[in-house]
Amino acid sequence: MKACLDTNIFIAVKNREKGYEHCEKILDAIDDGLLRGILSTIVIAEVLVGFYRNEEITEAKRFLNHVVCTYEIKDVNVEIANIASRLRTEGLKLPDAIVVATAKVAGASLVTKDEDICIKSKDIEVLVPEDFVSKYLEK
C-alpha cells in the first residue's frame, strides 16, 4: 500500500493539532514498514520552511535525514508538471496540484487534511487521515 502525504500531515503532528493522532499513526506505519510513504519534494520544502522559520536547524536536519532514508521521494518531472498544470486550471494551488499529481503518477492514495484538495481531486483516492487510518490501518 502506497500513501502519498501532504505537508499538513507532518505539520499536524509537529504542532499537535486537532486529530494529529491519526497523522501520527500513518507516519508510524510508514516508519515500521507497513506502508510505503511517498513524498513530493514540494512537501519536503514546505515542512522545512517551518523549521527554518523557527530557527530549528537541528530538527530540520533530523527531519530531512529521516524522510530521505524512509520515504520514496518524487521530484517534479515533466509528467508531474503536465498533470499539475491541468489540475491548476481546475482551481488547485500549484503546490497542491504538484502533490496531487505526484500521488497520481506514483499510483498512491493521497492523505491530506486539505478539504479543497479532497473536493477538487479526481481520478485518485484522496482521504483525510482519520478515514485513511480507518480504511487501511485498523483491520
Alpha helices (H) along 71-123:
78-89, 94-106, 115-120
Q: What distance in Å separates the CA atoms of residue 91 and residue 49, rounded to the nearest whole number? A: 24
pLDDT at 32: 97
Class of the CATH domain delimited by 2-137 = alpha beta
Q: What are residue 75's phi and psi, to 5 degrees?
A: -75, 160
pLDDT at 118: 85
pLDDT at 116: 86
The tens place of each residue's pLDDT in the chain, 139 residues long, gives 999 999 999 999 999 999 999 999 999 999 999 999 999 999 999 999 999 999 999 999 999 999 999 999 999 999 999 999 999 999 999 999 999 999 999 999 999 999 889 888 888 999 999 999 999 998 6
Residues 6+ apart with CB under 8 A from 113: 6, 8, 9, 12, 19, 23, 128, 129
Record the cell numbers describing residue 74, joined without a space: 518524487
Domain residue limits, the chain: 2-137
